[in-house]
Structure 1
């Protein structure tokens, strides 16, 4: 018995020792928010005050020292995120996650971001101020890599930490640029539909600009298993496996002094990006005697894409311009190394790349390139023998000055300097929103826009052999859509169609008018906006389109065919105001019926795979309201019922019936149990959260959330057969900048400032976010010092 007791005591001691060791180990993995550290290269000491949400307020005597400190604190909270972002363009995700990411790596390597980066960096002036400041920031990151704790994800994947280089900064920006492009999802799919079904089916899709919808106004004082479907499928599947989010949309509006209660500009901005953990933006306030910026940073990028100070503020939405096109090429019939051009035969370039794969052999692959870009057939190996299709992307086709542009934006001191920096951002296409303390409001579309021949639609795969479908010219930046101090006293963007510019409408993948219409409705008749009213507007969850669509369709229904219970809820739908609260029933019934209406309209022709591809495009978002109101059209008929010609009414009735029956099956026969919050939920997923045993540790949520697709508080979700609307994108931050009270401007992040799961700031804003709360973006030095949670001091050697 004594031996057993002794053994148990030894075992208990060992268990206690393991627990203590784990606790000590975990403590070493946490970010350091206080204390004193030596930071190589500093000219003077730097103080970093962390507020109660972990936001660093960096006070330095000069900008180089400030950026070194920024790089260090950014890395200690987000090194894992930085690591993934820089690996994307270089095709290095398989080295972390294994064979499942090989196709994704192939896809990104074929884009040529890393090749473009290498060419750009090799031509840089190393004494250029932008380059020098980037290097100071990288020095801070690398100081943390050398002496700071290793994030837990590096232990779990077994990868080593490596120094960050200037090339990594450019590669992160390149990924951002691609993440905005929609052409890879849409053009090949539309081409396959056109080839298989003909122009009548194309004409019945909302492909082109609808002049009856709300557009952004300019103001200038002076003036079948086809090739296409397979390409789309390959790109879609590759992107679905990304462990980092894609950029998808956004809202912003800027109110001139005459529209506000206090006579000062107010800027609101909420860029819509895929939800993930950690969230996209790293928030930081940098202050020196000659420079100050409260900004939002991408992982590994020193210059904030969103920012403000006491003089000016800026935000972004996605322009959604068409900067990615596909071209059919023709291979020489006797010499497979050549392809046809209008000037004769030219030789393909051949590129061979090698992908390192975790727990597997390296994968080498070769793809061809034409003057337009990579031949994507060689990436989608299952279509290797089909007609070659090359992908042309604006980002890699032109000189890359994007980082110079971002540097210019965050160092501008007035509207003139700010506008001077914009032409350097050739891709991605952005709506840059601006307001300042002098009362100026402005919006500019930044992108390298081109003019195509009149008869050419860039929504389809183009002819790459004749030279007749190439750009005629590139527009000067002065011809881009814009509005500076317009007489209607505000500017806005909701990714909707901008009005004509340079005598033409620029093609794009614009989102429907829903959010734009609501924004204009709310802004037009109110001239006493303040911070509180603006923050309430940014949380608005009322659809400007869905109720009228419901009203129009219900008129068609013969109510005599409905049950008594169904009549009650059809009447509720008819009286629905389009509000999306978590306890609402009408939103659930509407979206379930909307999904079945799409399914019953398109899936019979397209099949399951292509139907799901269509659901992932902006095109289908535009089509929903437009197409549902089309009385006659090719898509209404079910091609599988040869003896019957289905109509819109029959599709509508079947879709309502399918929706009702599926809700009964999922939640029971009592519609009062069909609350929106049961099906519309938000979970912020970490790459390791896909492993069920790690989900609760790494993921944040799920939460029932209000909102929906294409309302201002755009809590978007993909449609699928599950009938669950799992939110996958939405406001990546909500910001309200009020120049009448600049030091009390407000914002929120979706989860928390830190990407380190052991940090107290990993998810401390998550519940605030879903409840629509905000926190201050502090700028007053005395207030920051008096209320700081901790002080981290960097000292020079």
Structure 2
């Protein structure tokens, strides 16, 4: 076993050394790296044998026990919360130090320090978006408004640093050795950075893209293709919900010429397609055992080490288990003896953009309310490995930081654009999860959410008393109808946010008559909700499939919940393919040839599942992607950032207006109607499949999709896992695409004793030399789970090893 690990790591080390020398211009010290006493050989250590150890940890009030189960999941038993989180910090660092360090360096805009100038633009963007600034504000909130939480954060920090300070070079995670740097001390600021890293990962906006798109399409077509509510709106909060509050008044200012810009702008990248999530809870009246059921599966980028680290945290007052974020305290998605909760992204427009006019090139003053007011200049010092330090001056207005100006993305040097974002404001999301971890009922859940502001999330809830609930929680700006869809004038006070929607008026529901609550990133509410709700990225398929199944199911069990999480029915294909084949039949007599008849026959007989061995999903996926590109390619004029109409609206246009003039906008010969695009894209699909068969053979869905779980450093291919045999896809409940999918799945049945199962695509260890680095992947890909029940301190069944921490 150890010889295998040796050869494996040797090959990795040599290949990475070459890759690093080519890409980063620096090579790790190979002599030290190859040293059998302190180099990569030491990282062949695998935590696969049983032992008991005792560790001295400064600051503990009483001894703490950590029992690891057979999957390397630690169960921490402490008498005091401060001890609990001190040990959580130590244990997390022991298994995931490099990951938690790397992710916070990314959020802080410091990757250039370890990889060189290749990351310089990425670092600049992180700083210009204000992530370090946002983390500083959050840290100040911890310190000033909630010293009790700050004490726990400091204990966690001390635990991480105890582990770091005890590390020899031989014990360093392998990535440090390859990239040739050492971990610096952990700080509470880094924990705040991690939460801002998540906020940035999950938020999007299309203000600048919409501004560009309006210049291309005009307002009428833009409204047609991007309606605020689709025809088939099935919102997070049931449409039957009646709002029992008096909303704050907000009206569009009179004589406001908005939108009025016809300019072309740069824009931030949006969250990757496929990032989303599912969660739901079922009332006892719909379950076999008369207990509430709950499920959650956040869909994110699939990475190694995994974003999540499973853990149980126990004191005499509570025991909580679930998925933690390395670097943050407590459990983020999970359950305790009384309640369970989970999260999905509540896609809402919480970022707005303002056009700024500076007085002169010094940018020390900008125009607001027709007066020149002082700006703040923040000089960002970016250290670059192997090169001189780079300094980037970021201008802060009262709206927020100027992301794009003459010094960054300078294609439009006459346009200075500032970002206003709720994540920049003081917040205390950490307290939300600390309170949920020990919550006992629905009221505790609501009180915990009152501290949560960003990124907006749909929090599902279930309790052992049978309550189920859902709340769309975040700090939502109070906007007049249409505000923030396009770039706004930073000089005009009428474009200011008018405050925020009160937390008790955020959309929520408890024990609805239909017997379930659910969310899948769709619209939060129906049109009768009294506030303006907008986002461009609401989901239109997973939510309808999920609600359709939940409405029809009775006597539900945990096995039913697992099956739903792994449901691979392709609702988009079920609605789009019959239309596409009908349009194809109308215009394409030549396509009925024997040569391609087998493809049409397969598609005609498809049951719309996306199992890994099926070929039909591949055929449809290629055909649809080519059709979609063919229809909307004209929007890419001048290479300016725009957003395309979504799949749902594209199908609606093809179905209801197949001769609309939009289909002739491509200016390509013979493409005048929807049927022309359908025919042409089908022909392209046939050629692509033929080429695939000639070059690679079978084109089943798993082979074509090629689900991969990549290491956080893109070129560390040997630490990644490719070609995972699994089904599903974007827009499907089993949302497993090529690089995105269910980053964590768990289901639980509430009751006097909670029964739970969980899984994620990775492993507990961050060490590529450990069998626990990727041992969950096959289980996850097969749609299986591991037992996730709470354990007691005396439970020794299937115990891997244990650690006793003493002062």
Q: Give the TM-score taking structure 1 as reference length.
A: 0.88
- With over 3 angstroms needed to count, the CA separation of the structure-2 counterparts of 1:132 and 1:181, relative to structure 1, is same
Query: Does the CA contact (< 8 Å) of 1:499 and 1:505 recur in 2?
Result: no
Query: Does the CA contact (< 8 Å) of 1:176 and 1:247 recur in 2?
Result: no
Per-residue deviation, residues 530-564 of structure 1 (Å, max 9, x unmatched): 01111111100002231121112222223522112
- Among residues 504, 512, 519, which one is paired with 1:493 in the alignment? 519
2:768 equivalent in structure 1:
757
- With over 3 angstroms needed to count, the CA separation of the structure-2 counterparts of 1:661 and 1:346, relative to structure 1, is same
Indicate whether 1:250 and 2:270 are aligned.
Answer: no
Secondary structure of 2:646 counterpart: helix
Per-residue deviation, residues 303-345 of structure 1 (Å, max 9, x unmatched): 2211211100000000001101112223347985433222523
Per-residue deviation, residues 185-244 of structure 1 (Å, max 9, x unmatched): x32222112123433542453353213332223446845xx9976522xx339x99xxxx
Secondary structure of 2:583 counterpart: coil
1:683 equivalent in structure 2:
708
2:197 equivalent in structure 1:
175
2:620 equivalent in structure 1:
590
Query: Does the CA contact (< 8 Å) of 1:480 and 1:502 recur in 2?
Result: no
Indicate whether 1:714 and 2:735 are aligned.
Answer: yes
Per-residue deviation, residues 451-502 of structure 1 (Å, max 9, x unmatched): 3223x34232222222233323311112111111111111000000021465
Q: Distance in 2 between matches of 1:495 and 1:348?
A: 37
Q: Distance in 2 between matches of 1:569 and 1:403?
A: 52
- With over 3 angstroms needed to count, the CA separation of the structure-2 counterparts of 1:685 and 1:741, relative to structure 1, is farther
- With over 3 angstroms needed to count, the CA separation of the structure-2 counterparts of 1:528 and 1:450, relative to structure 1, is same
Secondary structure of 1:649 counterpart: helix
Secondary structure of 1:504 counterpart: coil
- Among residues 455, 460, 469, which one is paired with 2:495 in the alignment? 469
Higher mean alpha-carbon deviation, 281-290 vs 570-579, is at 570-579
- Among residues 389, 392, 413, which one is paired with 1:365 in the alignment? 392
1:26 equivalent in structure 2:
43
Indicate whether 1:145 and 2:164 are aligned.
Answer: yes
Query: Does the CA contact (< 8 Å) of 2:75 and 2:314 recur in 1?
Result: yes
Q: Distance in 2 between matches of 1:610 and 1:591?
A: 26
- Among residues 205, 212, 215, which one is paired with 2:232 in the alignment? 212
- Pairwise CA distance, 1:505: 4.3
Indicate whether 1:394 and 2:416 are aligned.
Answer: no
Secondary structure of 1:293 counterpart: strand
- With over 3 angstroms needed to count, the CA separation of the structure-2 counterparts of 1:577 and 1:628, relative to structure 1, is farther
Q: Distance in 2 between matches of 1:247 and 1:369?
A: 33
- Pairwise CA distance, 1:383: 2.8
Q: Distance in 2 between matches of 1:473 and 1:37?
A: 51
Query: Does the CA contact (< 8 Å) of 2:280 and 2:516 recur in 1?
Result: yes
Q: Distance in 2 between matches of 1:780 and 1:21?
A: 37
Per-residue deviation, residues 673-706 of structure 1 (Å, max 9, x unmatched): 3311221122211134614xxx23x112331321
- Pairwise CA distance, 1:418: 1.4
- Among residues 178, 186, 189, which one is paired with 2:209 in the alignment? 189
Q: Distance in 1 between matches of 2:62 and 2:274?
A: 38
- With over 3 angstroms needed to count, the CA separation of the structure-2 counterparts of 1:712 and 1:28, relative to structure 1, is closer
- Pairwise CA distance, 1:97: 1.7
Indicate whether 1:313 and 2:346 are aligned.
Answer: no
2:573 equivalent in structure 1:
546
Query: Does the CA contact (< 8 Å) of 2:478 and 2:497 recur in 1?
Result: yes
- Pairwise CA distance, 1:590: 0.7
Query: Does the CA contact (< 8 Å) of 1:270 and 1:731 recur in 2?
Result: yes
1:568-579 counterparts in 2 under 5 A?
568-579=598-609
Secondary structure of 1:507 counterpart: coil
- Pairwise CA distance, 1:753: 1.1
- With over 3 angstroms needed to count, the CA separation of the structure-2 counterparts of 1:117 and 1:452, relative to structure 1, is same
1:90-129 counterparts in 2 under 5 A?
90-122=108-140, 124-125=143-144, 128-129=147-148
- Pairwise CA distance, 1:770: 0.7
| Structure 2 unaligned blocks of 5 or more | 1-30, 246-260
Per-residue deviation, residues 640-687 of structure 1 (Å, max 9, x unmatched): 44x8661111111111111111111222499x9331122112221113
- With over 3 angstroms needed to count, the CA separation of the structure-2 counterparts of 1:138 and 1:77, relative to structure 1, is same
Indicate whether 1:458 and 2:484 are aligned.
Answer: yes
Indicate whether 1:766 and 2:787 are aligned.
Answer: no
1:531-542 counterparts in 2 under 5 A?
531-542=558-569
1:655 equivalent in structure 2:
681
Q: Distance in 2 between matches of 1:337 and 1:79?
A: 41
Higher mean alpha-carbon deviation, 459-468 vs 287-296, is at 459-468
- With over 3 angstroms needed to count, the CA separation of the structure-2 counterparts of 1:512 and 1:631, relative to structure 1, is farther
Query: Does the CA contact (< 8 Å) of 1:600 and 1:651 recur in 2?
Result: yes
Secondary structure of 1:674 counterpart: coil
Query: Does the CA contact (< 8 Å) of 1:31 and 1:756 recur in 2?
Result: no
Q: Distance in 1 between matches of 2:794 and 2:786?
A: 14
Q: Distance in 1 between matches of 2:436 and 2:536?
A: 26
1:413-452 counterparts in 2 under 5 A?
413-452=440-479
Higher mean alpha-carbon deviation, 525-534 vs 125-134, is at 125-134
Query: Does the CA contact (< 8 Å) of 1:200 and 1:634 recur in 2?
Result: no
1:738 equivalent in structure 2:
749
- Pairwise CA distance, 1:622: 4.5
Q: Distance in 1 between matches of 2:469 and 2:197?
A: 27
Secondary structure of 1:231 counterpart: coil
Q: Distance in 1 between matches of 2:144 and 2:396?
A: 29
Q: Distance in 2 between matches of 1:406 and 1:291?
A: 13
- With over 3 angstroms needed to count, the CA separation of the structure-2 counterparts of 1:339 and 1:20, relative to structure 1, is closer
Query: Does the CA contact (< 8 Å) of 1:46 and 1:66 recur in 2?
Result: yes
1:42 equivalent in structure 2:
60
Q: Distance in 1 between matches of 2:44 and 2:619?
A: 49
Q: Distance in 1 between matches of 2:278 and 2:556?
A: 17
Q: Distance in 2 between matches of 1:569 and 1:137?
A: 58
Q: Distance in 2 between matches of 1:761 and 1:348?
A: 51
Per-residue deviation, residues 482-532 of structure 1 (Å, max 9, x unmatched): 111111111000000021465134112343321111111111022200011
1:319-338 counterparts in 2 under 5 A?
319-332=346-359, 337-338=364-365
1:479 equivalent in structure 2:
505
1:263 equivalent in structure 2:
290
2:258 equivalent in structure 1:
none
2:792 equivalent in structure 1:
781
- With over 3 angstroms needed to count, the CA separation of the structure-2 counterparts of 1:346 and 1:312, relative to structure 1, is same
Q: Distance in 2 between matches of 1:622 and 1:372?
A: 34
- Pairwise CA distance, 1:111: 2.1
- With over 3 angstroms needed to count, the CA separation of the structure-2 counterparts of 1:96 and 1:214, relative to structure 1, is same
Indicate whether 1:273 and 2:300 are aligned.
Answer: yes
The count of corresponding residues between Structure 1 and Structure 2 is: 747
Q: Give the TM-score taking structure 2 as reference length.
A: 0.87
Query: Does the CA contact (< 8 Å) of 2:212 and 2:640 recur in 1?
Result: no
Per-residue deviation, residues 132-184 of structure 1 (Å, max 9, x unmatched): 1112111111111011432111111122222211111111111111211111x
Query: Does the CA contact (< 8 Å) of 1:215 and 1:513 recur in 2?
Result: no
Secondary structure of 1:785 counterpart: coil
Indicate whether 1:383 and 2:411 are aligned.
Answer: yes
1:2-81 counterparts in 2 under 5 A?
25-26=42-43, 34-81=52-99
Q: Distance in 1 between matches of 2:54 and 2:361?
A: 70
- Pairwise CA distance, 1:610: 5.2
